[in-house]
Structure 1
Amino acid sequence: MLDITLPSPCERFTPDWKYADDVDIYVKRDDLIHPVISGNKWRKLKYALSELPDGMSRTVSFGGGYSNHLHALGYACQQLAIPFTAIVRGDYSASPTPMLMDLLAWNCELVYVNKLEYRQRETPAYLKQIRMRYPNAVIIPEGGKQPSALKGVGEIIDELTFQPDYILLPVGSGATLAGLIPKLNAAQHAIGIAVLKGENYLETEVESLLTKPHTNWRIEHKFHQGGYAKHSPELVQFCQALFQNHGIATEPVYTGKLFYAAKTLIENCYFQKGAKILLIHTGGLQGARKIKTDETN
């Protein structure tokens, strides 16, 4: 069984950043939902796993070698005794990442594919092949980006006991941002921090998940540090200092970029004085394991 802790805490955050005293900063600690299935990964999977159809024999999903989504889903399936197949971008068979080693320990099946095949993951023809190979399997999109994920993510807003003016969160697939936007009122704004090079592409992905247009959101593209999983020594040091000074664990793939972006925007006086700013810690620390692996190689 899964021991999930909800609602997640929402904590006041008082860093020593320039002009931080001019605004009220809070952190929604979704990283504390569960030690493995943390953050938006559980919220995206919550309804997909609780509403599995009768006769389902397996789940199948997609991700990279350090995918927080695959890691969370693999653990959940192991706990629920559901066979799981992870279709992984790239061949790690000779040297599995720490995340993939976990999946193997949880008896998950790993299928390594090249980048060309991986790009077909959402095409009808490719999905048909998967269904033929795995009859009665439930296929969960990359990052858990299925319609029910938006419902689970939207519950973040339901748990709040105050009304933030701005909500900041990292954006990779766009599903978490798309789940929050419809829950906001006209006076609230969501700001996604892109963690990869995806200007216009990410906006299109979010819009495709919304049932109607909304104008109270935007994506900031200045903090991806060169692309997905790209990072500078400065960002790694920033993450380390954040943990040492505030006890908040982050990594330089997703949440580290979120906090760094928040610091930069606040120091550049992006927000009006007195604004209530909520940072959503989306959990998932596989990126931190990547840094440790890089440092030992």
Structure 2
Amino acid sequence: MNSPISKIILDGRGFFVKRDDLIDPYLAGNKYRKLYTLLNTPSNSLKTIISYGGTQSNAMLAIAAMCQKKGWEFIYYTKPIGQAMQDESVGNFYHALRLSMKHVEIQNDYYRDFIASLRLNLDKETFIIDQGGAVEEARRGLEVLAQEIRDANLDVKSLATPSGTGTTALFLALCMPEYKVYTTPCVGDAQYLRTQMSSLNALPENLIILEPKKKYHFAKPYREFLDIWQKLLVTEIEFDMIYAPSMWMALQEQTKEDILYVHSGGVSGNESMLKRYKQKGFI
């Protein structure tokens, strides 16, 4: 699906936005691009998809939606979670369970070794998607996105998308060497991000990591994140509350040129994040 492009004004500066958030309520944004190859895989080729990570994960929800569409079993491994998370009736984890995801908790002491052993004795009808959708198969979906951007014929040569594992930003930069691709680390620091991306491919020169001015902990509420998210909401485009704020702040502080922001989707997680902001007294 070729998503549209919108123009917004943020604090007096114009930006273009590639509206990948409009592709599907759950299977949208960079997760749609990462899962493009699997979405186009015949349903009878696989029976089970396995992944792992956190319960706030947008990838988790997108994989659950894909598996329901394809008729595949989805098993998702996490470290132990609290009762409050299990009882929630909003957010990505809740929706993924409703899409028939099978959730399995692994004790902290065994988690790393268990994840490392997942590929042992793997059968041909089971496919593993590493945390955040970081798989080589994601490249094809980013090639399709790259062609859509070229076909739009915008007078823009800089792109931006936030990073967890950096898979989207990396493959987008590889597919579009004539563009600058900005990203910012939203999980860990810049060195962690480089390590994650380097496990898939050498980093190209046109991939530029904008480091946040201060250290932020993943998925925690911050006043400045809420402020810029609310400013963006005025543009009539809703962005996610975990990844997008850090990227937009970095773009405002560290860039000046015209930029096309690739919307990562993930807005389904906002209901649970808004609840946390209210509990903190920020709203």
> TM-score normalised to the size of structure 2?
0.86
Within the candidate set 10, 16, 20, 2:11 is matched to: 16
Q: Are positions 1:153 and 2:142 aligned together?
A: yes
State the 1:175 CA deviation: 0.5
Kindly provide the amino acid, as one letter, of the partner of residue 259 in structure 1.
Answer: W
Aligned length: 273
Work out whether residues 189 and 216 of structure 1, in 8 Å CA contact, stay in contact via their aligned partners in 2: yes
Show the counterpart of 1:256: 245
Q: 1:35 to 1:224 in 2, by over 3 A?
A: farther
Q: 1:47 aligns with which of 11, 26, 37?
A: 37
SS in 2 for 1:147: coil
Identify if the C-alpha distance between structure 1 residues 93 and 78 changes in structure 2 by more than 3 Å, giving closer, same or farther. Answer: farther
8 Å CA contact 1:65–1:92 kept in 2: the answer is: no
Alpha-carbon distance, 1:32 to partner: 0.9
CA displacement, residues 252-297 of structure 1 (integer Å, 9 cap, x when unaligned):
31112222222223xxxx33xxx33111111112441332332465
Query: Which residue identity does 1:44 align to in structure 2?
Result: K
Question: Is residue 211–residue 250 contact of structure 2 (8 Å, CA) maintained in 1?
Answer: no
Q: Aligned residue for 1:240?
A: 230
The superposition leaves residues 13-53 of structure 1 with CA deviations (integer Å, 9 ceiling, x where unpaired) of 22234xx2xxx521111111111111011111110232258
2:47 is the counterpart of 1:32: no
Report what 1:217 is aligned to: 207
- Matched AA of 1:15: L
Match of 2:196, as an amino acid?
A: E
For 1:118 and 1:248, locate their aligned partners in 2 and report how far apart those are by CA, in whole Å: 38
Q: Percent of aligned pairs with the same residue?
A: 24
The one-letter amino acid of 1:49's match is L
CA contact (8 A) 1:63 1:69 kept: no
- Find out whether 1:109 has 2:98 as its counterpart: no
Taking a change above 3 Å as real, the CA distance of residues 223 and 149 of structure 1, as seen in their structure-2 partners, is: farther
Deviation at 1:172, TM superposition (A): 0.5
User: Do the aligned partners of 2:160 and 2:183 also contact (CA within 8 Å) in 1?
Assistant: yes
- Runs of at least 5 residues in structure 2 that lack an aligned partner in the other structure: none
Q: Give the direction of change, closer, same or farther, for the CA distance of 1:126–1:148 in structure 2 (3 Å limit).
A: closer
Task: Select 1:197's aligned residue among 188, 198, 206.
Answer: 188
CA contact (8 A) 1:236 1:251 kept: no
Q: CA deviation at 1:233?
A: 1.6
Tell me the SS of whatever aligns to 1:138.
strand
CA distance in 2, matches of 1:25, 1:140: 33
Which residue in the other structure is 2:217 paired with?
227
User: Which ranges of structure 1 fall in alignment gaps of 5 or more residues?
Assistant: 1-5
Q: What amino acid maps onto 2:96 in structure 1?
A: L
